[in-house]
Structures are given as structure tokens and as C-alpha cells.
Amino acid sequence: MRPTDHLRALAADDWQAATRHPFTDALADGTLPADRMLAYLQQDHLFIDGFVRLLASAIANAPSLPDAIPAAQFLGLISGPENTYFLRAIDALGGTCEPPAPAAPITAEFQALMAQAARSGRYEQMLAVLVVAEWSYLDWATPHADKAADLPFWFGEWITLHSGEGFEGVVAYLRSQLDSAWHTLDDDAKHAVETTFRHAVTLERRFFDAAQSGFPSP
């Protein structure tokens, strides 16, 4: 079994809950209320900030230039001028990006996990969080890809950004990096990857739980 299949199997319950979630089901059938989508995107915009820094750390810690290049290309894509999805969608839903929304507790937890992985100096820790974030999004979005074109763009584009050949390639690359790194790790480091991977999957599930109920204050 590939190490990343082993990791996903360890988190099977939360993985299933995060990738077959009522929030993404409602998003994909177009019935998600606009205020819920807006609040989700405003929180996810804060998530992407930490994500970009984590991806940059992974690029800096990749074992070779060929290992780093696909991540650098993905970073360019998501931070490039053609990626105006957040701006356009938040605007169309009647919200603003500036000033940034205060982070909900679950968003702050995600930011903390990403920051911890980024400063760990451990490539496999960075990959554990990146693999969960991208693979879980590929997994929920793929079954809905055929419906995306008929949806308002703030739903449809969020599905197409996370499905299809290009994004499958990103996930395949991230998984293969973690699979390769895994074989170099001692038992303690493997266990630490398992812990981080499971934590990240739990946070993905809880992020959708919170988004579904509109990020209620605790």
C-alpha cells in the first residue's frame, strides 16, 4: 500500500465526512445559501494565506530542484494574476476581502497547524498538511465536476478549480513526494506524520461543519 493510502485509511471516518459533506453537496447542487458561501470564502481566503506560505516552505525544503518545480508552478498558479476567483466570488456575493474577516476558531486552528508545519523544517510535515488539503478537495469536487458549468460561477468555479487533469496532477505530485519521503523516515518521524495527517483531516471536516452552520461564535 502506498504510504499516502495508509495515511488516508488511518483517517477514514473523518476523510469520508470531509469529502461527502452536506456543505459541499449543497454547494454542488446550487442550494447552498449565498450568505453561507460568502462566510466560507471569507474564512477560506484566510486559509489560503497560510497555505501559500506553507507551500513556499515546502519548495524551500524539497530535496532537489526537480522535486521543487511542480510545487513552484502550483504556487504561481494560485497566487497568479489570473486567479481572481476569491475576489470575484466574494464581490458577487456582496462581501469584501478588505479588511480581512476575523479568523473563526477553526480557521485559526488551521492557520496554526500550517504555521507549525511550515516552521518545522521537516519536509514530510509540510507535505502531510498539503496532501490533505489538496487531495481532500480533489476527492469532494471530482464527483461534481460535470455539474459545474450549470452553476453560478461562485459555486461552479470552486468545483472546477479543484477537479480535472491539472489539479489531479498537483495531487499526484504532492502524494508522490510524501510517498518518497516516507521511506526515509524513522518510526518516530512516521508517527509524527500520521498525527499531523489525521489532525489535518479532522480540521477539514470541522471547517465544513463550521461553514455549514455559518461559523457560529463559540
Contacts 24+ apart (CB under 8 A), 49-54: 49/111, 50/110, 50/111, 50/114, 50/115, 50/118, 51/78, 51/114, 51/130, 51/133, 52/78, 52/79, 53/114, 53/115, 53/118, 54/114, 54/115, 54/117, 54/118, 54/126, 54/129, 54/130
Residues 171-210 that bind ligand HMH (CB under 6 A): 204, 207
State yes or no: 91 annotated in a binding site.
no
Flag whether 82 is marked binding.
yes
Q: Under the criterion CB under 6 A, does residue 72 sit at the interface with ligand Cc1ncsc1CCO?
A: no
Per the annotation, the verdict on 204 as an active-site residue is yes
Residue 85 interacts with which of ligand Cc1ncsc1CCO, ligand HMH, none, CB < 5 to 8 Å by class: ligand Cc1ncsc1CCO
The secondary element (H helix, E strand) that includes residue 89 is helix 85-92
Q: Is residue 161 within the footprint of ligand Cc1ncsc1CCO (CB under 6 A)? A: yes
- Determine which residue in the list 14, 67, 124, 134 makes contact with ligand Cc1ncsc1CCO, applying CB under 6 A: 134
Per CB under 6 A, does 14 bind ligand HMH?
no
Residues 38, 143, 126: CA angle, nearest 5 degrees: 70
- Among the residue ranges 130-138, 139-147, 164-172, 173-181, the one whose residues contact ligand HMH (CB under 6 A): 130-138
Q: Is 124 in the site for ligand HMH (CB under 6 A)?
A: no
Active site residues: 204
Binding residue positions for substrate = 44, 82, 134
